[in-house]
Structure 1
Amino acid sequence: MMDDNLLLKFALDAGELMLASGGETHRVQDTMHRILSVSHSTGVEALAMSTFLIVSIPSKKSGSLTLTRGVYNRSVNFGKICSVNEISRAFVSRQITLKEAAKRLEKISHTSAYRPISRIISSGVACGGFTLVLNGKLIDALAAFLFGILIGILINHSGKTKLPSFFTCLIGGFIAGAGSVIFQRFVPSAGTDMIIIGSIMPMLPGMTMTNSIRDIMEGHYISGTSKMAEALLIAFAIAGGVGFGITTMGH
């Protein structure tokens, strides 16, 4: 006999890990529903929203068992999403037991794909690379690399201090805007526009916007519109930070 409470917790853990790693709402909801359906063929409910999860299964003793959980962490980690998919599929196909699946999931949730220093350096490399791709000069790419490092440090620090993404992007935009103006004063041949465009790349809400459109197309209108509002708010924060930085430096 399967433990219903452990099954509910496993479904919530899997859904939370996927949603926090950048998974689409409909994918998270489908995964939780498949996990719960292993024990109960009918009466199973799983609901995923942009910030919370609800799972429910029928119970002979209490009528029904329902658990909810808020999800407030946000990141992009496709490796964790794939790992959760593999575990859930193995559990649904009866290849592993519920306890084994829960242990594997807990192990994945506590592992970090990349070290902070790797993410910071990658942020700089991405900024410099995008500048070159967008026909920027080599000196522009160098400046974008330096500001990308600073923005990477900011993003890493904001994740530890739980700083809202709006303020993180506002400060990051200011670094890109003000930094590009200061850099051009020392290197007149540099282009502020190319430096800014490359520097803000790590903060752009491309994944959030993509997921919002996919959720809307799947019929999850509340999650889709809320994610779209989040993406637009982040975009406004970046634009406001860049504008404020350029104005402050008197460009």
Structure 2
Amino acid sequence: MEAKKVAEIATSAGEILLSNGAEAYRVEETIKKICSSYGFNGECISTSTGIFISISDQEGEFVTSVKRINLRRVDLYRVELINSFSRGLAENPLPYEEAKNKLREIYNAPNFSLGIRLLAAGLTAFSYAIFFNGGILDALVSLLISFGIYLLLEYISKIGSFQFLEYYLSGFIIGAVSLAIGSFFPQINKDNVITGAIIVLLPGVALTNGIKDLLYGDYVSGFAKLGEAILIIVAMSVGIVTALSIFMKWF
């Protein structure tokens, strides 16, 4: 197979990995493994927003590929599919068209339905509200708020906006609604409600991957992911503090 086609396969696989929450070292190792499966020596540098690939062919010529990643989310199912794909290539290198079709199937793999994701978000908020000494009523309110916040983020992400604004508004709504409900229903503790509701927003995967990248020596990608996680936490915290500062005198 031509080096250009191998670079295209490797770039597509790396794009799926990076856009779905994989660590930088995983992207680089997978791309090198794919190149090696076809008998080429490939080098890769992965950052949080892009992939740079260079492959040398038998004549010593180099093929370079660059791919910028604009949209990023967390979908470990697709990450696992690409891992299986790269391991399969090591044992049985697929023809170009077959490999591209396989990658297209992985890219278009169905997501969990909105109802399942809402249920997961709600149960997560409910569980953490209980875990941090909240009562059943606190947990139920956290569950309902997390439903609304998840739907809000789904809507805002589709129309496009600054990430800081998304999480600022989410934090503001959590703080305002928790304070209002806690004032009308004294048996509900607003602090426990806020604790449960914000769990859905916390960037746990980004924090973990950032630390793992740093431990593997990928400092650019590691600090970028940690910076993104800190930005989310700050935006959410500022939103909650703003809501509490504004509405505390009213309720």
Please give the range of the TM-score, normalised by the shorter of the 2 chains: over 0.9
Say whether residues 1:118 and 2:116 are aligned partners: yes
Whole-angstrom distance in 2 between the partners of 1:98 and 1:88: 14
1:65 to 59, 63, 66: 63
Runs of 4+ in structure 1 displaced over 4 angstroms?
59-62
- 1:35 match: 34
Q: Residue 40 of structure 2 contacts residue 55 of structure 2 at CA under 8 Å; is this kept in 1?
A: no
Whole-angstrom distance in 1 between the partners of 2:97 and 2:131: 48
Whole-angstrom distance in 1 between the partners of 2:198 and 2:118: 14
SS at match of 1:54: strand
Normalised by the length of structure 1, the TM-score is: 0.93
Q: How far did 1:198 drift?
A: 0.6
Q: Residue 53 of structure 1 contacts residue 69 of structure 1 at CA under 8 Å; is this kept in 2?
A: yes
Q: Percent identity?
A: 28
In the TM superposition, what whole-angstrom CA distance separates every residue of 1:63-84 from its partner, at most 9, and x where no partner exists? 3211101112222211111111
Normalised by the length of structure 2, the TM-score is: 0.93
Q: Which amino acid aligns with 1:122?
A: A
Q: Residue 91 of structure 1 contacts residue 98 of structure 1 at CA under 8 Å; is this kept in 2?
A: no
1:199 to 197, 201, 216: 197
Q: How far did 1:125 drift?
A: 2.1
Whole-angstrom distance in 2 between the partners of 1:233 and 1:195: 23
SS at match of 1:142: helix
SS at match of 2:54: strand
- Listed as ranges, the matches of 1:1-251 within 5 Å are 2-42=1-41, 44-59=42-57, 63-94=61-92, 96-251=94-249
Give 5+ residue unaligned stretches, structure 2: none
Q: How far did 1:61 drift?
A: 7.5
SS at match of 2:37: coil
Equivalenced residue count is 249
Q: How far did 1:202 drift?
A: 1.1
Q: Residue 52 of structure 2 contacts residue 67 of structure 2 at CA under 8 Å; is this kept in 1?
A: yes
Q: How far did 1:107 drift?
A: 0.8
Identify which range, 112-121 or 192-201, moves more after superposition: 112-121
CA-based RMSD of the aligned residues comes to 1.7
